[in-house]
Chain A
Amino acid sequence: MTTNDVVISCKHVWKVFGDRPERLNLTPATTLDDLRATNHIAAVRDVSLEILRGEMLVVMGLSGSGKSTLVRCLARLLDVTSGAVEVEGRDIGKLSEPELIELRRKKMGMVFQSFGLLPHRTALENVAFPLEMRGQDRASRIARARDMLALVGLKGREGYFPRELSGGQQQRVGIARSLAVEPDIWFLDEPFSALDPLIRREMQDEFLRLKGMLAKTVVFITHDFDEALRLADRIAIMKDGAVEQIDTPERIVMAPATPYVAKFTEAIDRTRVVHALALAQPVEGRVIEGEPLPANETLHALARRIVGDSRPLIPLVHKGQIAGLLDRKAALDLLLGPVA
């Protein structure tokens, strides 16, 4: 995170489906049952959140939790029923159609679960499509599309049609297309869910590589908690349209805000998420002895050394400075389970 300015902010966003939902009086106290009584269905309920520049927010929830609807509200593929979505300080609900088109042509890119490629266009033409829409000349858009395809590792497949490509390759085209206009904001709606597990892993690595290169604000939707933990700066967990908790992966695991989040994180191997620093105590003038351990490694990575160490308090080092003392017993409890 370079600067801390807010790129997207949601203020009490509701998305309700049903007969003329804009007439409803929606307050934070409105429950699902209230809406059900009038035959309305709430897909997003009173969501307020802020996404910072350069941040990667993963929105996570089971199917039907409203996460895809939320991201469509952020891109204004759907109009919100109540509340406001602001992108760089502008309420996108108030944009005129040309302004909205302009915003999408310049600032936003989106990747879809089932790729959303145009079947009658080649990979190259698909990637060039957003550039063509904004009227870029043919030579420069083709050159740019070629570069993008090379970036996602599809050099040589430019002339192929989507149906001639595998799922992973199709999604690479989708990613290249979403990046062609150099957007600041990158939406990914379950981009790897339709892929088989091996390809999914490969695509996640690819995604991390691209993200590292490009430094964009990313909103990533997934129903896969492992994927969320692997990729996220922050995770928002949704249930029945509402955000249950929005926090760093570590805090979600160590300090679940609601029983639902706790249940979600139950089966997770915490040691792969929790960093040594999270179990540290302040030094408070105690004497540092022996070799310190790196503070920003997960417990899982440090397990061998923690088990082999005999000190009750192990010093942790971060950027050349002592950051705290790791409570070895707490670490072992987490690694091996509490003593029976």
Chain B
Amino acid sequence: MMTAALGKPPFQLDQRRVAQAILLAALVLVAFRGALPAGLVRLPEAMVVPFADWINAAFAFAQDDLGLMSLTRAFSDAVELCLDVTANLLYGKSRWPNVGPIPWVVIAATAGMAGYALGGLRLALLAAGTFVWIAVMGQWKWAMETLSVIVVSVPFSVIFGLLMGVLAWRYRLAERILNPILNIAQSLPHFAYMIPVVVFIGVGPKAGAIVTIIFSVPPMIRMSLLGLRAVSPEIIESGKMSGTTRWQLMTRVRLPAARTEILIGVNQVIMQSLAMVVLASFIGMPGLGQKLLQLLQALKIGLSVEIGITIVLLAIVLDRMSKAWAMKQPEHVEGETWVQRHRLLTIWLGLVALGFLAAWAHPYFAEVERKQALSMAGPIDVVVGGFIDLVDPVTDWLRWFLITWVLIPLRDAFLWLPTSAVVLALAGIGWRIGGWRSALVCLAFVLPIALSGWWDRAMITAYTVFVSVTLALLIGVPLGLMGAANETRARRFLLVCDTAQTFPSFIYLIPVIMLFGVNDVAVVAAVTVFATVPIVRYTIEGLRNIPPEIVESAQMSGASPGQLLRHVKLPLAVPTLVVGANQSIMFALFMVIIAAFIGTQDLGQEMQRALSSTDVGKGLVLGFAVAFMGLLADHLLLRWARSRNASLGSSQS
């Protein structure tokens, strides 16, 4: 057997040769573009596959003939019931149980106590401070509209995700089916989720909640599965030897032992929900997102900055608190009496009582009127206005330079490329990286885009992503190198990246609209900023994870710092950096689609049109086109990083 494996098979395709041949063919197609038949430059109209019509027909069938409508109705009614309760409690909508609204001081005190219990004094101050800021700035009602949806949607997502995670853990088949669905679901842009929901549910808070639930389930499934897999076999064996039944083993041993991963899943659900709930303003979801959208469209910078700060603060508080909860280790308590053992609970009850008392004594502590609000929009407008006037010559020139010399030529080049050449080139790159299998995967992702008839739009999206990620690399890698200089600085940089990643993507539009107005440059700038974060992060991680012995041995070989970087650190960090670039592309794709509402001509703009005309088929086709672009890049980059890592013999990912 061994000798047979060593001998060369009689016929073998050299991976590199085949790839070169395919790429050469693509090059020939580009070079002789003028002489090509029109069918190779662009897919002929007649060959476009009406995917959208098929999807619409399928949806119509599900809606009318399968009675799916009544199922979704029942589910959405259940959600609405919960929404009414939270809406009443948080901002006093006149629904059952008709006791709200809870005074803002009580909610701020509760947040502060939760922060203290989970992460000590600093988190307590952050949490309570955030709610005080919201109240004092007069944004209470909007923030509570947003929160009331999150409070309902997160438990739904967590329970669905957990159940599906357990299912996937228990049945191989369920996992095999779920895995590709999750891959696509996690690369579908936000808007793609909204269109079907609008069709089935309509618009408003209920639709916002449901789209949020659907959007935030996938990470929960992933993390539950991961957690259940990671429970140490000895803990399970010790459970079995304690005489557990299967149910006891699951509920009292496996799930509690997977607590950390499950709670990290909850953290991801919360963050995804916040991002979605802000965007759900596009389908009539009231709250912070809607306010921000209106203010941005009216170019009221001062007020939108205030709302932006609120969203950012909420994101940080929710992220820190849920992470602290996930990381919190159980600790024993000493104490004789109930009060001693439940010290924090007692203090909280006291604070709540005080809060209600204060609210009863003075209405300011129950609700801050709009006219009492301490808005600084005026001064912010003046400062920002002054700043913009100051940098205007620079931004003006930058805008002119980018549009004339970079963006338009590049866009034209992308659009000029023959479809056939792009398809062939991607197959060639696939073959070079992962053999015929990868080539087929690439074709499977790119051909549907070509056949869907949205090729030009997709190329514009691709060009925007290409420009933005290139800029992100040019900015992010040097920043990462700077950040990795020493451990303290690395930790600080990573904290900033972590925090920046928790912001809902929408937020990044505020500063770029401020600086560049509403045009292509603003889109590219927003996407670039958003896409730089993962690059910085992975550059630092890649450099930091190099084994110290390798660095030391290079130093002892007499390498100068420059040589060390060029010959040792960078080559070893590149696979990690590529993983970062991959994430950066994903981020960029999501952002490009969101940025559509400040005016692009890509898939995102079409998706917004599909949203306003509630065209499910078109919306999903566009969504899949975006997802396939992301998955294509994901496949190529991760595949390359893996084989590179394997050849380096390291296990970093």
Complex-state Cα separation, A119 to B246, whole angstroms: 19
Of B241, B242, B252, B332, which contacts A160 at CB under 8 A?
B332
- Known A116-B235, A118-B257; contact A164-B241, beta-carbon cutoff 8 A: no
Interface segment, A8-16, A129-137, A219-227?
A: A129-137
- Known A113-B234, A120-B257; contact A159-B333, beta-carbon cutoff 8 A: yes
B331 interface residue, CB < 8 Å from A?
yes
Lowest 10 A-B CB distances belong to which pairs?
A116-B238, A105-B243, A130-B242, A116-B234, A159-B332, A110-B241, A104-B243, A161-B330, A120-B256, A112-B234
Instruction: Provide the B221-240 mask, 1 if CB < 8 A to any CB of A, else 0.
Output: 00000000000101101111
- Known A110-B238, A130-B243; contact A118-B253, beta-carbon cutoff 8 A: yes
B259 interface residue, CB < 8 Å from A?
yes
Of A101, A112, A119, A161, which contacts B243 at CB under 8 A?
A101
Chain B hits for A108, CB < 8 A: 241
B interface SS class: helix
Complex-state Cα separation, A119 to B240, whole angstroms: 16
Determine the residue in chain A with the shortest Cβ distance to B246: A97
Of A77, A121, A122, A134, which contacts B237 at CB under 8 A?
A77
Complex-state Cα separation, A161 to B246, whole angstroms: 25
Q: Can you report 13 A-B residue pairs in the complex whose CB atoms are below 8 A from each other? A: A97-B246, A101-B244, A104-B240, A112-B238, A114-B234, A115-B234, A116-B234, A118-B257, A119-B257, A122-B330, A130-B242, A133-B243, A161-B331
A117 interface residue, CB < 8 Å from B?
yes
A172 interface residue, CB < 8 Å from B?
no
Chain B hits for A115, CB < 8 A: 234
- Known A112-B234, A115-B234, A118-B257; contact A77-B240, beta-carbon cutoff 8 A: yes
A61 interface residue, CB < 8 Å from B?
no
Complex-state Cα separation, A116 to B246, whole angstroms: 18
- Known A120-B330, A161-B330; contact A133-B238, beta-carbon cutoff 8 A: no
Task: Output the least CB separation between A174 and chain B (Å).
Answer: 8
Asked if A163 and B329 make an inter-chain contact with CB atoms under 8 angstroms apart, the answer reads yes
- Known A114-B232, A115-B234; contact A122-B240, beta-carbon cutoff 8 A: no
Asked if A177 and B242 make an inter-chain contact with CB atoms under 8 angstroms apart, the answer reads yes
Complex-state Cα separation, A114 to B231, whole angstroms: 13
Listed residue (B241, B248, B330, B334) with the most chain A CB atoms within 10 angstroms of its CB: B241
B245 interface residue, CB < 8 Å from A?
yes
Chain A hits for B245, CB < 8 A: 97, 101, 133
A109 interface residue, CB < 8 Å from B?
yes
Instruction: Provide the A46-83 mask, 1 if CB < 8 A to any CB of B, else 0.
Output: 00000000000000000000000000100101000000
Asked if B237 and A116 make an inter-chain contact with CB atoms under 8 angstroms apart, the answer reads yes
Complex-state Cα separation, A112 to B239, whole angstroms: 11
Task: Output the least CB separation between A212 and chain B (Å).
Answer: 23
Task: Output the least CB separation between B385 and chain A (Å).
Answer: 55
Determine the residue in chain B with the shortest Cβ distance to A103: B243
Asked if A109 and B332 make an inter-chain contact with CB atoms under 8 angstroms apart, the answer reads no
Task: Output the least CB separation between A46 and chain B (Å).
Answer: 24
Chain B residues within 8 Å of A, Cβ to Cβ: 232, 234-235, 237-246, 248, 252-253, 256-257, 259, 329-334
Asked if B235 and A118 make an inter-chain contact with CB atoms under 8 angstroms apart, the answer reads yes
Asked if A118 and B237 make an inter-chain contact with CB atoms under 8 angstroms apart, the answer reads no
Asked if B237 and A112 make an inter-chain contact with CB atoms under 8 angstroms apart, the answer reads yes
Task: Output the least CB separation between A287 and chain B (Å).
Answer: 59
Listed residue (A102, A109, A129, A178) with the most chain B CB atoms within 10 angstroms of its CB: A129
Asked if B241 and A77 make an inter-chain contact with CB atoms under 8 angstroms apart, the answer reads yes
Chain A hits for B238, CB < 8 A: 110, 112, 116-118, 174, 177
Asked if B333 and A129 make an inter-chain contact with CB atoms under 8 angstroms apart, the answer reads no
List the count of A-B residue pairs having beta carbons below 8 Å apart: 85
- Known A112-B234, A114-B232, A118-B257; contact A104-B332, beta-carbon cutoff 8 A: no
Complex-state Cα separation, A116 to B256, whole angstroms: 13
Asked if B242 and A129 make an inter-chain contact with CB atoms under 8 angstroms apart, the answer reads yes
Asked if B237 and A110 make an inter-chain contact with CB atoms under 8 angstroms apart, the answer reads yes
Beyond known contacts A116-B237, A129-B239: 9 more, CB 8 A cutoff: A77-B240, A104-B242, A108-B241, A110-B238, A115-B234, A117-B235, A122-B332, A133-B243, A133-B248
Determine the residue in chain A with the shortest Cβ distance to B243: A105
Task: Output the least CB separation between B330 and chain A (Å).
Answer: 4
Complex-state Cα separation, A204 to B244, whole angstroms: 29
Instruction: Provide the A158-171 mask, 1 if CB < 8 A to any CB of B, else 0.
Output: 01110110000000
Chain A hits for B252, CB < 8 A: 118, 129, 133
Asked if A164 and B332 make an inter-chain contact with CB atoms under 8 angstroms apart, the answer reads yes
Determine the residue in chain B with the shortest Cβ distance to A37: B1
Asked if A134 and B333 make an inter-chain contact with CB atoms under 8 angstroms apart, the answer reads no
Chain A hits for B243, CB < 8 A: 101-102, 104-105, 130, 133-134, 181
Asked if B234 and A133 make an inter-chain contact with CB atoms under 8 angstroms apart, the answer reads no
Asked if A159 and B334 make an inter-chain contact with CB atoms under 8 angstroms apart, the answer reads yes
Chain B hits for A105, CB < 8 A: 242-243
Complex-state Cα separation, A119 to B330, whole angstroms: 8
Asked if A133 and B242 make an inter-chain contact with CB atoms under 8 angstroms apart, the answer reads yes
Q: Which residues of chain A in 221-266 are interfacial with respect to chain B, using CB atoms and an 8 Å cutoff?
A: none
Task: Output the least CB separation between B556 and chain A (Å).
Answer: 34
Complex-state Cα separation, A115 to B233, whole angstroms: 11
Chain A hits for B246, CB < 8 A: 97
Determine the residue in chain B with the shortest Cβ distance to A122: B332
Determine the residue in chain B with the shortest Cβ distance to A129: B242
Task: Output the least CB separation between A109 and chain B (Å).
Answer: 7
Chain A hits for B334, CB < 8 A: 159
Chain A hits for B234, CB < 8 A: 112-116
Task: Output the least CB separation between A240 and chain B (Å).
Answer: 22
Chain A hits for B332, CB < 8 A: 122, 159-161, 164
Instruction: Provide the A132-170 mask, 1 if CB < 8 A to any CB of B, else 0.
Output: 011000000000000000000000000111011000000
Chain B hits for A110, CB < 8 A: 237-238, 241
Task: Output the least CB separation between B382 and chain A (Å).
Answer: 55
Complex-state Cα separation, A112 to B241, whole angstroms: 10
Asked if A104 and B329 make an inter-chain contact with CB atoms under 8 angstroms apart, the answer reads no
Complex-state Cα separation, A161 to B328, whole angstroms: 13
Asked if A109 and B241 make an inter-chain contact with CB atoms under 8 angstroms apart, the answer reads yes
Chain B hits for A112, CB < 8 A: 234, 237-238
Listed residue (A97, A112, A115) with the most chain B CB atoms within 10 angstroms of its CB: A112
Chain B hits for A134, CB < 8 A: 243
Chain B hits for A101, CB < 8 A: 243-245
Chain B hits for A72, CB < 8 A: 237
Chain B hits for A97, CB < 8 A: 245-246
Complex-state Cα separation, A153 to B248, whole angstroms: 29
